[in-house]
Amino acid sequence: MAQNKTQPTKSDVTAFVTAIEDATRKADAKTLIKLMQDASGEKAKLWGPSIIGFGNHHYKYESGREGDTPVVAFSPRKTALVLYSVNAGEGSAAKLAKLGKYKTEGGCIYIKKLADVDEKVLKSLIVAAVTARSGKS
């Protein structure tokens, strides 16, 4: 069975964030690292070349396919911050309604900049996702 393309790496998260050219995107990445690290209790780790993930979530589908992903993660792309698995927690639909300006696609949340969303609501989404995916509270 094929292995997931996105795997944890030994790359330096700090160096990755430092190399972000856009000042707002860099500051937002630092804020998201703090939020996700506080919620998960895990240190940031690069998964693949551009996803900053926290913790480890093992999954197994009925088909037999299984693998590992971060419990929560994000990627500071040029056009948006992409948040992974953040809408996986209990009550996420109601929280998303209060989040602010964002888009969703394929289970991901796309935010242009953190100033566009309510940070308290975002934090509650992250905490709920960590609880749902890792059992931590």
The domain of 85 spans 13-134
Residue 6 lies in a domain: no
Instruction: Flag whether 53 is in a domain.
Output: yes
Phi, psi of 21 (to 5 degrees): -75, -40
Residue 137 has a pLDDT of 53
Cα 55 to Cα 105: distance, rounded to the nearest angstrom: 23
Residue 135: pLDDT over 80: no
- Give the model's confidence band at 6: pLDDT under 50 very low, under 70 low, under 90 confident, else very high: confident
Residue 8 lies in a domain: no
Residue 29 lies in a domain: yes
**2 or 87: which carries more pLDDT confidence?**
87
Q: Which residues lie below 8 Å from residue 97, measured CB to CB, with a gap of 6+?
A: none
Residue 100 has pLDDT above 60, yes or no: yes
What residues contact residue 77 under an 8 Å CB cut-off, 6+ apart? Answer: 50
CATH code for position 29: 3.90.1150
pLDDT digits (tens, 9 = 90+) for 18-68: 999 999 999 999 999 999 999 999 999 999 999 999 998 877 878 877 788
Does residue 52 form part of some domain?
yes
Separation of alpha carbons 90 and 128, rounded Å: 6
Average pLDDT over residues 116-130: 96
What percentage of the chain has pLDDT greater than the value 70?
Answer: 94
pLDDT value at position 109? Answer: 97
Q: How many domains does the chain have?
A: 1
Q: Do the domain assignments include residue 4?
A: no
pLDDT tens across 75-84, in order?
Answer: 999 999 999 9
- Report if residue 95 sits inside a domain: yes
